[in-house]
Amino acid sequence: MKLVVGIVQDQDAGTVIDALVAAEYRSTRINTSGGFLKRGNATILVGVDDEKVDDVLRILRERTHRASSGAGTAQAAGMVLVLNVARFVRI
């Protein structure tokens, strides 16, 4: 079991969540803000079996867009952490 933690731009979060729901993944969205440019972000948490991680990553890649920093340089569309989960319990 893995916990996929995706940090995406706020404007991409709704599209990402919609795509995850359409693919029957449950997720949790937490509104966050970045440090350097202090822009709004969303942290999306998805608990999945190991073999489904690549599909979740595909959805994140397809539904996010690079942003401009204002200085003419493109920023990454987001960041993803894939963490091992020792135990997953649905209550």
Domains of the chain in start order, with CATH, are 2-67+77-84 (3.30.70.120)
Please tell me the least confidently modeled range out of 21-25, 38-42, 46-50, 52-56.
38-42
Per-residue model confidence as pLDDT tens digits over 65-90: 876 656 565 667 789 999 999 998 88
Q: Regarding predicted confidence, which is higher, 55 or 72?
A: 55
Give me the count of residues in the chain.
Answer: 91
DSSP for the chain reads: -EEEEEEEEHHHHHHHHHHHHHTT---EEEEEE-SSS--EEEEEEEEE-GGGHHHHHHHHHHT---EE-SSS-EEPSEEEEEEE-S-----
Question: pTM (2 decimals)?
Answer: 0.86
